[in-house]
Structure formats: structure tokens, C-alpha cells
């Protein structure tokens, strides 16, 4: 089993992500593969310090143990998002329900969050949004209004021509002003949930 830190397989571009291989013996070397190509060796965890879009793909870990027999983990998907909002579905350990959460990068202030299923507002009063598996299939969208402060400094040099009697005037003068601008923008992200399996007794 592979776990993610932070606990989601969809991360922002530039974000750090660590995948941990929870199988085998940590005293034996591991091999990490992405899309069946080796990307790292030895450690039971694999860290991408600054994820880029081309880090997206399917990952698994492998370990050769006693008698040279390899064991492999399940394959997991990592998706790197070049945007400002991520909607993340999480399934419970029994596969009976889903939780939806909405994420934004550090440095942004959340003003409001709205969830949609098939373009219909399901507007919860809190996160995460819990969904029973039977009602889960569909297109889910997270819409979030964000704000940030942008500070702009402008400067110029003022050269003053003075009379010889103005003893304190000669020199270079600079005018500097710091401006603050609040911007409010709404961003969205969408996922599709497909549920397969038998009913529970």
C-alpha cells in the first residue's frame, strides 16, 4: 500500500509530495517506478520537493526479498495541478462512502466554498462533504473564492537644481510608495466519481 503526505494524490504545482511504500522490510532496498520507468532506488519513501506537471503519472514501489522474488505494491496515480483549487475525493477504509475536500495553496485566503454535483449546488455547511457510495457517481466541482494582497512599490529619483545658498538642498531624492490591492477571484476544479462493485449485505 502506498500513502501520500499530504494525504491526497492531487497536489499543486510547486508543492512537496512524499509517497511511502507500506510493504516489505524497510531494511531491504526499494525501487520506485513511474509509468514503469525507474525514478528512485533504495528508500521506502519517495519525495518530490517541488512537483511539476510532468511528475503526474502512475507510481508503484517494488522490493526484491528472500530468494530474489520481487514483490510490488499496487499502482497509484499522482496528479499535479497547475491551478489554484483542488477537489479531492477520499474513500473510507471499507469503500462505503466518499469524502470531498477542497484545497487552495498557502498564501491565499478562502472567502467562500461551494460544491456541485452534475452542476447542481450541494452546498454543505462544512467540509468534508460526505457522500454514500450508492449516490456517489457523477461529476463533482469545487468552486472557491480566494483573495490575496499584492503590494507594489514604485520609486523614482528626483534630481534638484539648487542655488548655492541652499546648503541643505543638494542631493538625490527618492519617492517611494507602497500600494495594497485586494483581488477576489473564483476558481474551480472538477473530478468524476465512478463506483464499481457488488452491494453489501
Q: Tens of pLDDT along 22-44?
A: 987 888 889 999 999 999 888 99
3-state secondary structure 146-187: EEEEEEEEEEEEEECCCCCCCCCCCCEEEEEEEEEEEEEEEE
Which span out of 72-76, 135-139, 164-168 was modeled with the highest average pLDDT? 72-76
Locate the domains of the chain by residue range.
Answer: 1-82, 83-201
pLDDT of 19 strictly over 90: yes
The CATH number assigned to the domain with range 83-201 reads 2.60.40
Res. 153 pLDDT band, cuts 50 70 90:
very low
pLDDT of 96 strictly over 50: yes
151 CB-side CA count, 13 A: 3
**Has this prediction a pTM greater than 0.75?**
no
Identify the CATH assignment for 1-82 out of 2.60.40.10, 3.10.20.30, 2.40.50.320, 3.40.50.2300.
2.60.40.10
The predicted pLDDT at position 178 comes to: 44
Whole-number average pLDDT of the chain: 75
> 3-class SS at 56?
coil
* Residues contacting residue 98 through CB under 8 Å, at least 6 positions apart: 89, 90, 91, 92, 130, 131, 133, 136, 193
The residue-averaged pLDDT of 159-182 equals 46
| pLDDT cut 70: percent of the chain above it | 65
Amino acid at each position: 500500500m502506498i500513502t501520500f503526505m499530504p494525504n491526497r494524490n492531487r497536489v499543486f504545482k510547486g508543492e512537496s509530495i512524499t509517497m511511502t511504500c507500506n510493504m516489505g522490510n524497510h531494511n531491504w532496498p526499494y525501487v520506485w517506478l513511474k509509468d514503469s520507468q525507474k525514478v528512485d532506488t533504495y528508500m521506502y519513501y519517495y519525495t518530490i520537493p517541488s512537483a511539476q506537471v510532468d511528475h503526474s503519472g502512475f507510481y508503484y514501489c517494488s522490493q526484491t526479498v528472500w530468494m530474489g522474488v520481487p514483490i510490488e505494491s499496487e499502482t497509484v496515480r499522482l496528479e499535479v495541478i497547475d491551478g489554484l483549487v483542488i477537489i479531492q475525493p477520499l474513500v473510507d477504509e471499507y469503500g462505503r462512502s466518499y469524502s470531498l475536500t477542497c484545497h487552495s495553496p498557502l498564501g491565499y485566503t478562502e472567502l467562500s466554498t461551494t460544491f456541485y454535483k452534475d452542476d447542481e449546488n450541494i452546498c454543505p455547511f462544512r467540509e468534508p462533504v460526505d457522500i454514500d457510495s450508492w449516490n456517489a457517481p457523477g461529476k463533482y466541482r469545487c468552486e472557491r473564492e480566494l483573495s490575496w494582497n499584492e503590494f507594489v512599490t514604485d520609486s523614482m529619483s528626483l534630481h534638484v537644481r539648487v542655488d548655492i545658498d541652499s546648503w541643505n538642498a543638494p542631493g538625490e531624492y527618492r519617492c517611494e510608495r507602497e500600494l495594497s490591492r485586494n483581488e477576489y477571484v473564483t476558481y474551480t476544479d472538477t473530478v468524476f466519481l465512478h463506483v464499481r462493485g457488488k452491494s453489501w449485505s
